[in-house]
Amino acid sequence: MLKWTGLSGLVILIDQLTKWQAERALDLHIPVSVIPSFNLTLVYNTGAAFSFLSDAGGWQRWFFSLLALAVCIFLLTWLARLDSSEKWTAIGLSLVLGGALGNLIDRLLYGHVIDFIQWYYQDYYWPTFNIADSAITVGASVLMIHGLFFNRPRSSEAGNQG
């Protein structure tokens, strides 16, 4: 099922291209309104999700990089061991893997993750994010939905045939 790493590569490509374009077209912390409740805003995140530990002094760059690397190795191992019938699990894992690698590239090259997508309602702003974050969210959602609603345990199927 490693053939699905092509999807991870596509996520990385789109993520890095959009971040490159955001850096070229946007000024740091200056929102550009696209439609009501949606801005493009260039932000650098030195922390993790929701800027967790962003003011920790620098050590978090290497901590989150090592954590992302460990997660990527785990995801690749899981993907390699999947049965060919587990297509939705492979898609979910590949999306999460591509997103994790996209943000890892930023962290290693620049010391921060480049974010630029900003949703808001009135004075309430969702934390700014990027394509890699979106892929991680969609991939994790696919894994959860498939696991909860569509994935039947093999042992119960065998037990019901008895």
Residue 74 phi/psi, 5-degree rounding, is -60, -45
Q: Which residue spans within the chain are E strands per DSSP?
A: 32-35, 38-45, 113-121, 124-125
Contacts of residue 52, defined as CB under 8 A and 6 or more positions apart, other chains included, come to: none
Please give the radius of gyration of the chain, using alpha carbons only, rounded to the nearest integer.
Answer: 18
Q: Give the Å distances, CA to CA, from 92 to 12, 54, 74, 115.
A: 15, 28, 14, 22
CA nearest neighbour of 120 among 131, 130, 128:
128
Q: Rounded to 10 degrees, what is the CA torsion of 41, 52, 46, 14?
A: -60
List, by residue number, the catalytic residues: 115, 133
- For residues 77 and 43, give the distance between their C-alpha atoms in angstroms, rounded to a whole number: 33
